[in-house]
């Protein structure tokens, strides 16, 4: 699955993942390969991505730029202030507010 994580002012993550956990407004849920199409609002909380093979672009908050990584199976966790998720044909768009604590 491919995912793009965007805030109003920057791209936070772009790459291939095997799973995504997000804080839905009705509770946390996970997206895996083959997930049904969905558009959902998100509340403030934790997002966790598990990377797949390939190159990933991750925003480095300390340096203020995008870095490339290629760690398969790396867990990337960050806090959001809310937003939306769209899943369609294993393509995920995550539009979020206030990303912090990227690790």
What residues does each domain of the chain span? 2-81+89-96
pLDDT at position 103 is: 64
Q: Which residues pair with 78 in a beta bridge?
A: 47
DSSP state of 65: E
Tell whether domain 2-81+89-96 is in CATH 2.60.15.10.
yes
Phi, then psi, of 56 in degrees rounded to 5 = -125, 145
Residues 6+ apart with CB under 8 A from 51: 15, 16, 17, 18, 69, 71, 72, 73, 74, 75, 76
Report in angstroms the alpha-carbon separations of 64 from 37, 74, 76, 86, 99.
33, 21, 17, 26, 13
Per residue in 43-98, pLDDT (tens digit) is 999 999 999 887 778 777 777 777 787 778 888 898 999 999 999 999 999 999 98
Specify the DSSP class assigned to residue 103: -
pTM: 0.85
């Amino acid at each position: 699955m491919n995912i793009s994580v965007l805030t109003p002012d920057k791209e936070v993550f772009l790459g291939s993942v095997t799973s995504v956990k997000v804080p839905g407004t009705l509770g946390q849920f996970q997206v895996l390969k083959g997930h049904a199409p969905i558009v959902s609002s998100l509340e403030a909380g934790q997002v966790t991505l598990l990377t797949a093979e390939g190159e990933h672009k991750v925003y480095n908050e300390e340096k203020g730029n995008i870095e490339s990584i290629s760690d398969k199976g790396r867990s990337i966790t960050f806090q959001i202030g809310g937003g939306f998720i769209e899943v369609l044909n294993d393509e995920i768009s995550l539009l979020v507010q206030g990303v912090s604590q990227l690790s």
